[in-house]
Amino acid sequence: AGDRIITAINTGASSLSFVGSAFIVLCYCLFKELRKFSFKLVFYLALSDMLCSFFLIVGDPSKGFICYAQGYTTHFFCVASFLWTTTIAFTLHRTVVKHKTDVEDLEAMFHLYVWGTSLVVTVIRSFGNNHSLGPWCWTQTGLKGKAVHFLTFYAPLWGAILYNGFTYFQVIRMLRNARRMAVGMSDRVDQFDNRAELKVLNRWGYYPLILIGSWAFGTINRIHDFIEPGHKIFWLSVLDVGTAALMGLFNSIAYGFNSSVRRAIHERLELFPERLYRWLPSFRPKNQQRSEMVSL
């Protein structure tokens, strides 16, 4: 019964992540104005999340090829997902703090770094390939398998979390210092721009928390499994599986559903006939409503 509950939670949460990530991938493919380098990195992140979620959904906990395939593909794309977040942090830091404009030239290096590292840790993981027969095939049994899983996933994961946290801290600190200097040199500050800027800064501060929220319970569960391998805590396993499977949804909302995406969607909605807005007034873009008020 416990395994069935965890399986249902995994499937439901992974499905939400798949839909959220697929939405960002679809927006990138449909809207040409989004195909800038910064959003291209978000596209690769969403693609990794989408495939990670897909293999979490289709995994078969029975023995055999399907179980191994799900374990390796999930490991590969989940590692690729959090590695793409480090490239986004690196790009922002290099642009804002170091004032470099060569980030687009590093795209090939980013691909080599993300896919190459993901492949290496997935291959190393095969040395401890004793897969469990629980609700998914990603976790492993046996001391050797657990150790390899921890070293090939959770160690680089927390390295990425620390790097992202340090990087965003530097970016936010520099922008706040620059803003403070600008305020000191100016007698008046536009209150709207001030609020918008603070909102962006606060949003960047949440990015590292996504990985922490997604994998904190999983890390605790793995450590507990090391200490007491014969005693599983059901509620901890539920939180482990649920939060990890929701990583794609969290990433798609934080990184993908930004003002550029919303603007692109609103511009397409403005092309809809006025009759549709009469039936569905809540779908009317705000900027169109504002322009109509101005004309009145």
233-276, pLDDT tens digit by residue? 889 989 999 999 999 999 998 888 877 888 888 887 777 655 55
As a whole number of angstroms, the distance between CA 17 and CA 256 comes to: 12
Polymer length of the chain: 296
215/183: higher pLDDT: 215
Could you state, in order of their start, the residue ranges of all structural domains in the chain? 1-257
> Does position 87 have pLDDT exceeding 80, yes or no?
yes
For residues 84-105, b (16+ Cβ closer than 10 Å) or e, as one string?
bbbbbbbbbbbebeeeeeebee
pLDDT digits (tens, 9 = 90+) for 41-77: 999 999 999 999 998 888 555 556 677 777 888 899 9
pLDDT value at 289 more than 50: no
Between CA 137 and CA 145, with CA 141 as vertex, the angle to 5 degrees is 95
User: Could you report the per-residue pLDDT of 173-190, keeping only the tens digit for each?
Assistant: 888 787 777 666 655 545
User: From CA 228, how far away is CA 222, in angstroms rounded?
Assistant: 10
- CATH for 1-257, among 1.20.1070.10, 1.20.1250.20, 3.40.50.300, 3.40.50.720? 1.20.1070.10
CB of 109 within 8 A of CB of 184?
Answer: no
Chain mean pLDDT for the chain: 80
100-158 residue pLDDT tens: 888 899 999 999 999 999 999 999 887 765 554 444 565 666 677 788 888 999 999 99
Under the banding of pLDDT at 50, 70 and 90, the label for residue 86 is very high
What would the mean pLDDT of 33-45 be, rounded to a whole number?
90
d(CA 80, CA 78): 5
Q: Is the pTM of this model over 0.85?
A: no
CA atoms of 173 and 51, how far apart (whole Å): 35
